[in-house]
Chain A
Amino acid sequence: MANIKLENINHSYSLKTENNSWAVKNINLEWADGGAYALLGPSGCGKTTLLNIISGLITPTQGVIKFNDLDISNKLTIERDIGQIFQFPVIYDTMTVYENLAFPLKNKKFEEGFIKKQVQKISEILDLGSILNNNAKNLTVDQKQKISLGRGLVRPKVNALLFDEPLTVIDPHLKWLLKSKLKELQKQFNTTMIYVTHDQTEALTFADKVVVMHEGEVVQSGTPTELFEKPNHLFVGHFIGSPGINILPCEIKENSAFFLDYEIKKNVNIKSIKDKNIKIGIRPEFIHFSEIGIPVDIISVRYLGKCKIVDVVIRNINLKLVLNDQTHVPEKKAHIKFSEKYTYLYSNNYLVN
């Protein structure tokens, strides 16, 4: 078990290190021992690269990796004591389930008795006990994925377990079972787990802390609530939450922020905003109908069980509102109001404090 620290990690797959060729850049992260983390981002954002850097499958072009404050940047994968589970289950076809689980221990030259005890224990936890002597080749995908997981857990000392979109090929009804199993294991073993995914629900339900990546950079890292209530970057607002954040044009006049002609935030510190590219970001959940406020036309209302989504428009600018199903929606014309606390200004996509 270990606390993992990444310092100034940059990695490029090509030899030329021009600015735009970085697969991941400026990564500074700390993962506490025993935490459940998620790395969230769209495909191609560099999350798998980052994962492989931690496990040592990729040596980063620049930067330092520390386990428990010990620099392990130059250590081999096997010396790092990491478990990694891939998108597609990797099993050794010619071996039985038992041999598969025992494989990492055999390579580390543990005694036969210890291996047996350890495999027995893990197979029980993963409900693989009854098929230990079966050939691993003909199992179902979820069983195979459990074996890959087992090969990580079976070691007496695991610094971290890394998951690379492990549920992609699992049937939807088994996904949920396997996900709860993971969560349970995380509590039981108290191992640091890092879970890479592009699915916000998976990330937000699994992790205590979510790291959102975008184009090779970490744009925000925080609890699911923080990501929702105070997105640090417009990408986070857009990627997390459904529907995503409303992004609106903004004008600054005398310490106040205006949307069209309506003042929506007071006491804005202008000095800190020199850039002209300023946007307003407000989540649909934090806009309400009110007696006075911004006049809008209502386009449509969609009912989604416990809530409804209302599309409104003002001068060709579309906005979305999420209301709970009890709320009355006026017909055609209405006024809306933004909760000032959750209305944020973004300069060049980053939050302005």
Chain B
Amino acid sequence: MNKVQNNKAWFFILPVIFLVAFNAVIPLMTVVNYAFQETFNNNIFTWQGTKWFENILRSERFYAAFGRQLLFTFIILLIQIPLGVFIALSMPKKGFGVSICLVLMSMPLLIPWNVVGAMWNIFALPRIGFLGHYLALLGFDYNFTQSIYAAWFTVILMDVWHWTSLVVLLCYAGLCAIPDPFYQAAKIDGASRWAVFKYIELPKMKKVLTIAILLRFMDSFMIYTEPFVLTGGGPGNATAFLSIDLVKMALGQFDLGNAAAMSLVYFLIVLLLSWIFYSVVMKGEDK
């Protein structure tokens, strides 16, 4: 669409800019303030330069949390994306099944995040929870409050439960947008099921998949509430992902300087990775 050059359009954007800037810029400035200065009460600040950043970038604690975060994000992307595509492919295209699938599959997305955590806590409790009970019956020594592996297993299963539907819905929408003749032509050309997926469905889903991966990457990188309610970051620090560690540092230990510096580093990492991913995909698109 040809757009008209019109700088008055800025007036249309003003409310949005005002609302977002109010919420984004002022808090960000506060964080920057804390990141470069030291304060003992609210009014006296002393300039600290990059001290906090050096602290953070040298601390093992940050790298440990960052490592856990990367591993977690990597694992859930590895599970959710293929699983989401697979489920979307096997969903009905018409009939009453569509509505049932859409409504039921969207449900986890609309449950408050701490309820998700609480729900999985109740679900996975050893002995009295459904999952805990049956895993014990099957002979697993399962206790997510004590074992690191059990805790990771539970957190990942919870995230798969919570977010795979988003990938399914996006992919399903992408699949629905493919016109019938593509499938008919493939039939006439004698394409195998795999070829239909590789040459028709996957290329047509590329855009939605990019969005799905980007959203899942960003959101999983910022995950806080669900694991906080489920495991509280434990046992030990085993499931203390970046946000959890950050809040612990800022509110628990009131270490504002380090926490603020870490926030900024963290924010920049998310921004950078999203931008790299986005531009790589979009570059491939242009060719």
**Do A and B have CB atoms closer than 8 angstroms in the complex?**
yes
Q: Which chain A residues have a beta carbon within 8 Å of chain B's beta carbons?
A: 52, 55-57, 77-78, 82-84, 86-88, 90, 92-95, 103-104, 107-108, 135, 148, 151-152
Interface residues of chain B: helix, strand, loop or mixed (majority)? helix
Which of B179, B187, B203 meets A94, CB within 8 Å?
B203
Also in contact, A86 and B203, with CB within 8 A (given A78-B190, A107-B192, A108-B190) = no
For the complex of A and B, the 7 pairs showing the least CB-CB separation, nearest first, are: A78-B190, A107-B190, A86-B181, A90-B185, A104-B189, A92-B199, A77-B187
Tell me how far the C-beta of A122 lies from the nearest C-beta in chain B, rounded to whole angstroms.
Answer: 14
Tell me how far the C-beta of B15 lies from the nearest C-beta in chain A, rounded to whole angstroms.
Answer: 40
Interface pair A104/B181, CB less than 8 Å apart: no
A77 to B186, CA, bound (A): 10
Residues of B within 8 A of A104 (CB): 188-190
Q: What total of chain B residues lie within 8 Å of the partner, measured CB to CB?
A: 17
B109 at the interface (CB under 8 A from A): no
A selection of 26 A-B contacts at a CB cut-off of 8 Å is A55-B188, A56-B187, A78-B189, A78-B190, A82-B188, A83-B188, A84-B184, A84-B185, A84-B188, A86-B181, A87-B181, A88-B179, A90-B181, A92-B199, A92-B200, A92-B203, A93-B199, A93-B203, A93-B204, A94-B203, A103-B189, A103-B191, A107-B189, A108-B190, A151-B185, A151-B189
Tell me how far the C-beta of B278 lies from the nearest C-beta in chain A, rounded to whole angstroms.
Answer: 21
A75 to B97, CA, bound (A): 30
Interface residues of chain A: helix, strand, loop or mixed (majority)? mixed
Interface pair A78/B187, CB less than 8 Å apart: yes
A84 to B184, CA, bound (A): 9
Q: Which chain B residues have a beta carbon within 8 Å of chain A's beta carbons?
A: 179, 181-182, 184-185, 187-192, 195, 199-200, 203-204, 287
Interface pair A107/B181, CB less than 8 Å apart: no
Tell me how far the C-beta of A136 lies from the nearest C-beta in chain B, rounded to whole angstroms.
Answer: 11
Residues of A within 8 A of B185 (CB): 84, 86, 90, 148, 151
Residues of A within 8 A of B187 (CB): 56-57, 77-78
Residues of A within 8 A of B181 (CB): 86-88, 90
Which of A52, A93, A108 meets B184, CB within 8 Å?
A52
A135 to B284, CA, bound (A): 13
Residues of B within 8 A of A86 (CB): 181, 184-185
Residues of A within 8 A of B179 (CB): 88
Tell me how far the C-beta of B195 lies from the nearest C-beta in chain A, rounded to whole angstroms.
Answer: 7
A53 to B129, CA, bound (A): 55
